[in-house]
Amino acid sequence: MLNVVLYQPEIPPNTGNIGRLCHGSGTNLHLIEPLGFLLDDRSLKRAGLDYWAELEPTIWPSFDDFIGSVEESVSVYYFTTKARQIYWEAEYKKGDYLVFGPETRGLPESILRQKFDSCLTIPQVRGRSLNLATAVGIALYEGIRQLSVP
């Protein structure tokens, strides 16, 4: 239905939890290297439980390789605290990609500047950012909600 993309994720349990979320929602998971851990990392598998073995994420060696594979008919949304457009204002379509940056630094400025019209934010009252797995869950289920409404 949708695609979740983690750009250079750093924390194995977050990626494991996101893997469980993707498995449970029928969402494709894409990981852009370099990863901050090995895919056989114990904490990744622990957070992903037995779902991780069934997930089969797509691994991309670079952002350019990933973006070069995206069909023109779908949208790619970039999640950042620096955007003006709120995630529920986007009109999600089947096959769209939701891209999230690494936990400690977010998406690079070079990507955000180039793709600013496709950047979305999750509003917050206080704080710098949400946990990556929480942010993915919020955005993903808004997309699923929109796609499920007749």
Show pLDDT as tens, one digit a residue, over the chain (150 residues): 899 999 999 998 899 899 999 999 999 999 999 998 878 767 666 655 677 778 889 999 999 999 999 999 999 999 999 999 999 999 999 999 999 999 999 999 999 999 999 999 999 988 778 999 999 999 999 999 999 976
Six-digit token string for 97: 């990609």
pLDDT at 150: 67
pLDDT at 53: 75
Domains and CATH numbers, the chain: 3-148 (3.40.1280.10)
pLDDT at 55: 84
pLDDT at 86: 97
pLDDT at 48: 57
pLDDT at 41: 60
Rg for the chain, CA atoms, rounded: 14
Question: Mind spelling out the 3-state secondary structure of 88-146?
Answer: HHCCCCCCCEEEECCCCCCCCHHHHHHCHHHEEECCCCCCCCCCHHHHHHHHHHHHHHH
